[in-house]
Amino acid sequence: MTLTQPALSMQIRELEKELGVELVDRRPGDAALTEIGVLVAKRGDEVLAAARDLVDFARHRGRLLKGQLKLGVIPTIGPYVLPKLLPLLHIRHPDLIVKVRETQTKALIEELVAGDLHAVVLSMSATEGDIEVVRLFDDPFLLAVPADDPLPETMCVTAGEVDQSRLILLEEGHCLRDQALAFCSTAKPDMPLNLGATSLTTIMQMVANGYGVTLLPQVAVDAEAPDASGLITS
């Protein structure tokens, strides 16, 4: 279905008349939602998501999963969990078509609330209303250091023993960065870092070549440090 701009404008005006409020602030060459318009749009997204959920509930209740599953996942979980998860899903639910969306936590939650995704896999709980949270597993941090680092691999490192001047983390926006900074409780969010990378693979290469240390989720060990050298429990 194609909706032209004049038709859309007319429908918005009819909705404003029905609700008795101004939803759009119209200016010459520009338009933006009013404060109440933003709230109405948010509630509209929730209503549409609930309607889609109702249809899915009715169609698939008591049946094996089938159809399309739009799954969101963060970059610090996707590469390490999906290679094991997707084949199992295909075996157990061959009629299920999985479409994966990989991006940062904030965007995934927004798309989940809007109904654009059916489920998301995150490393932290979503606090938004009407989201059901299921705890999957605990994933401890390991301290990754260069292989020739004098710290013994059997050592259990505390937050205070992490050399923050050498700490390499993901760039801002990744929840793994926030969690690492929270673990290093004396660190500040704006602390100067050696590198802000977009992938754990890049960071691990930097660490392996002696440019610093990092905190690595255990779920990523098999892919990023298969020989487990230079990894210390934190």
CATH number at residue 168: 3.40.190.10
pLDDT per residue as tens digits for the range 12-69: 888 888 889 998 888 887 888 889 988 988 888 878 877 877 777 776 666 667 788 9
Q: Are 147 and 125 contained in the same domain?
A: no
From 12, 36, 63, the end of a domain falls on: 63
pLDDT by residue (tens digit) across 57-83? 776 666 667 788 999 999 989 999 999
Tally of structural domains, the chain: 3
Tokens standing for residue 88: 């199992």
Tell whether 188 and 223 lie within a shared domain.
Answer: yes
| DSSP code for 106 | H
Residues 127 and 115 placed together within one structural domain of the fold = yes
pLDDT above 80 for 189: no
Q: Are residue 192 and residue 205 in the same domain, yes or no?
A: yes
Examine the domain organization and report whether 95 and 26 are in the same domain: no
Q: Which amino acid is at 90?
A: H
Task: Select from 117, 137, 157 the last residue of a domain.
Answer: 137
Statement to judge: residues 69 and 128 lie in one domain: yes
Beta strands in 111-158 (DSSP E): 119-121, 141-144
145 and 132 in a common domain: no
Q: Residue 84: give the domain boundaries.
A: 64-137
Residue 212: partners with Cβ closer than 8 Å, 6 or more residues away: 166, 167, 168, 194, 195, 206
Mean pLDDT, the chain, whole residue set? 82
The pLDDT, as a whole number, for residue 227 is: 67
Distance separating the N- and C-terminal Cα atoms of the chain: 55
pLDDT digits (tens, 9 = 90+) for 197-228: 788 999 999 898 988 888 888 999 888 877 66
- Is residue 102 scored above 90 in pLDDT? yes
Is 38 in the same domain as 71? no
Do both 147 and 89 map to the same domain?
no
| Residue 85 pLDDT greater than 80, yes or no | yes
